[in-house]
Amino acid sequence: MELKDIKSVYFVGAGGIGMSAIARYFLHKGVTVAGYDRTPSELTRQLEREGMDIHYEENVDLIPQPCRDKATCLVIYTPAIPAEHKEMVFFREGGFTIEKRAQVLGTLTRTHKGLCFAGTHGKTTTSTMCAHIMHESHVDCNAFLGGISKNYGTNYILSESDYIVIEADEFDRSFHWLRPWMSVITATDPDHLDIYGTKEAYLESFRHYTTLIQPGGALVIHTGLEMKADVQEGVKVYTYSLNEGDFHAENIKIDNGEISFDFVSPIERVDGIVLGQPIPINIENGVAAMAMAQLNGCTPDELRHGMATYGGVDRRFDFRLKNSRHVVLSDYAHHPKEIFQSAKSMRELYKDRKITAIFQPHLYTRTRDFYRDFADALSQLDEVILTEIYPAREQPIPGVTSQLIYDNLKPGVEKAIIRKDDVIDYVKSRDFDVLIILGAGDLDNYTDEIAHIIDNK
């Protein structure tokens, strides 16, 4: 189905962060937008306020009339929806055009210059940084982001620009639908082994992704990755990292809560970059974001302005309380390497303070595959509180519980396992100095209440 033929769009799994960005795109285009999601959330409520018709019961009768014409309705679904879902069965048997979110994004990369950010971790922050830099510059951009930008209060940016910034998701090989003009690859630490099976298959998926970059474009890839890029002729390849590669940082200064550095680039060096969200890991994220923005025409002053005014992403090193007595923040980190970087940044920022994490592991398979790595990463902190595993799309696996992580935490780390439902009472009964809420599940729903309790102690 061509974009011009679409008069209504129906989302099966409307409340996901990535799905909602596409919903907003079609709302802006003025077509009927409706959908199903299992549970209401702040995001779905906001979409309803913006004009989307959403229901929360798996019921074909609730599909609105404009979404019942297969000739003009595009159905978009998330891979987390089971094949036997009643509404999916209705659309499938009715001969509707049914596409994954990634297929729709792929269509957009054929009509715009797609600037795509892929990688096991870091892609949400890096793509949001780049989108902010470019949107604030003379170049401008559209953007479909994997998190809520604090600068814009949304995960979607619309403009008349030819550029479109996209977070390229490797789950279910979704990023293979894209045809990037340029791409950043941040990391390829194996993940989603329930989908890929082996590390080799995971790395092969990234290799194939690099073949999709359009001739004349570019790949900006983190140094030292295990994968091997395989770009078409006419695609330039650049490397980046914190302190080496074609793009990197020099003269890094971390002082009194502020971070500045110089941006080294084969195009033009830019001195005096100041981070608007001063977190050590954002130096490297910023290098990748600025590399992409600079390759597409942003000036030195625009890079400085974009980085200085970048406000961060919800649940990505997201401070909810910060004063001289207490710090509470939320971080979406749910892979061992992400947690390692998060814990490392915390240690650099709060060298002499007691740091506690409450961690909700995400997925049984991920816990089974990486429980030792989770324990090693968390062992950088002083105290670790574990809740039960957030299952998301999975059924329990016998013997796979948070106890696996607990048993492998290093000696000297204070530790406990509690039920998620008991977290609020646990926080009320304890004192905390620096507290970080970790994970990609629903524990973050408690973070504002936790911050309020701690602030009033």
Reported as a single tens digit per residue, the pLDDT across 180-213 is 999 999 998 866 666 777 888 889 999 999 999 9
Choose from 1-15, 125-139, 141-155, 272-286 the range with maximum mean pLDDT. Answer: 125-139
CATH among 3.40.50.460, 1.10.10.60, 3.90.190.20, 3.40.50.300 for 318-455: 3.90.190.20
Q: Backbone phi, then psi, for 446, in 5-degree steps?
A: -95, -10
Instruction: Give the separation between CA 192 and CA 184, rounded to whole angstroms.
Output: 20
Beta carbons of 387 and 402 less than 8 angstroms apart: yes
Q: Where in the sequence of the chain do the CATH 3.40.1190.10 domains occur?
A: 112-309
Global pTM reads 0.75
Tell me how far apart the alpha carbons of residues 82 and 80 are, in angstroms, rounded to a whole number: 6
Tell which wins on pLDDT, 33 or 121: 33
| Among the listed residues 417, 254, 436, the one whose alpha carbon sits nearest the alpha carbon of residue 343 | 436
Reported as a single tens digit per residue, the pLDDT across 384-424 is 999 999 998 789 999 999 999 999 999 999 999 999 999 99
β-strands 163-167, 355-359 pairing: unpaired
pLDDT of residue 290: 98
Which CATH entry fits the domain spanning 112-309: 2.40.50.140, 3.40.1190.10, 3.30.365.10, 1.10.1370.30?
3.40.1190.10
Within the chain, all domains assigned CATH 3.40.50.720 are found at 3-100
Whether the pLDDT of residue 18 is over 80: the answer is no
Residues of the chain with CATH 3.90.190.20: 318-455
Looking at domain 3-100, what is its CATH homologous superfamily? NAD(P)-binding Rossmann-like Domain (3.40.50.720)
The residue whose two tokens read 């740091």 is 355
The 3 state secondary structure assigned to 318-376 is EEEEECCCCEEEEECCCCHHHHHHHHHHHHHHCCCCCEEEEECCECHHHHHHHHHHHHH
Number of other residues whose CB lies within 10 A of the CB of residue 295: 21
Left, alpha or beta for 214 (phi > 0: left; psi -120 to 50: alpha)? Answer: beta
The terminus-to-terminus CA distance of the chain in angstroms comes to: 58
Beta strand 8-12 with 73-77 is parallel
d(CA 180, CA 192): 22
Helix (H, G, I), strand (E, B) or coil at 436: strand
